[in-house]
Amino acid sequence: MTIKELFDQFIEIKSSKNSKLCIDTFEANLDLINNVDLTNLADYDCIMIIISDYALVLSYSGYYKKSIQYFDKAIDLFEKFPNFDKDKLFNIPYYETIVFQKAVTLNNLKYYKDSLLLFQKLHFAFPDNDRYSNWIDSIKIVKLDINSAIWFVVTFLIMILRIPLKSKDLALCEILLYIATGTFFIAIINVIKRYIIAIRKRKK
């Protein structure tokens, strides 16, 4: 089988929406896929779409961790394709799709920092697209929720630590109180930021 034949087969399977068959077909032809001649631009174009489709199917089917490596390969192929202007890749809808789905997948895996970076990249390319700004706000809210919870726990632990020190070391006890006050205010600031973002999101 040639890459072009595999590409045609992949397109047909994709149109049937048979995810399992799509995954099985890709994995049954790994040797062909891994040894494609990228100097042949026709084959390069075919393999770029095949790997992109495979990454998307994996993600849609819940194989998040496995899909990330193929999203990386697909994006790398797009960025290195000789006929594409790297600065105008977002003019290609399919490139936008795989970057978006990779960002969603990273978010599902709770890799919020990496997901946020991709959504910010998409928002920069499409500043009027509310979908991307909403995703950015949602991830920021999750991160602020996590941060505020951590700081509240730290405050609580410091206050517990002070209890046995009250009758032993008043100076250290006072220092811990100042630290606990600081961590409590950091937690409150995170909570305030979270609700400001949530209110702004609702108004969009």
- Top CATH class, 3-127: mainly alpha
Summarised one tens digit per residue, pLDDT across range 63-81 is: 999 999 999 999 999 999 8
Q: Is residue 3 within 8 Å of 32, Cβ to Cβ?
A: yes
pLDDT given for residue 12 in this prediction: 84
Q: Where are the domains of the chain?
A: 3-127, 136-203
Element (H, E) at 121: helix 112-125
Summarised one tens digit per residue, pLDDT across range 144-164 is: 999 999 999 999 998 888 777
Q: Is residue 176 within 8 Å of 158, Cβ to Cβ?
A: yes
Helix, strand and coil in the chain, % to nearest 5: 85, 0, 15
pLDDT given for residue 160 in this prediction: 87
**pTM, two decimal places:** 0.85
pLDDT given for residue 137 in this prediction: 93
Q: Is residue 50 within 8 Å of 30, Cβ to Cβ?
A: no
Summarised one tens digit per residue, pLDDT across range 42-62 is: 999 999 999 999 999 999 999
pLDDT given for residue 169 in this prediction: 67
Q: What is the CA radius of gyration of the chain?
A: 24
Residue 34, helix vs strand vs coil: helix
**Is the confidence at residue 36, as pLDDT, over 90?**
no
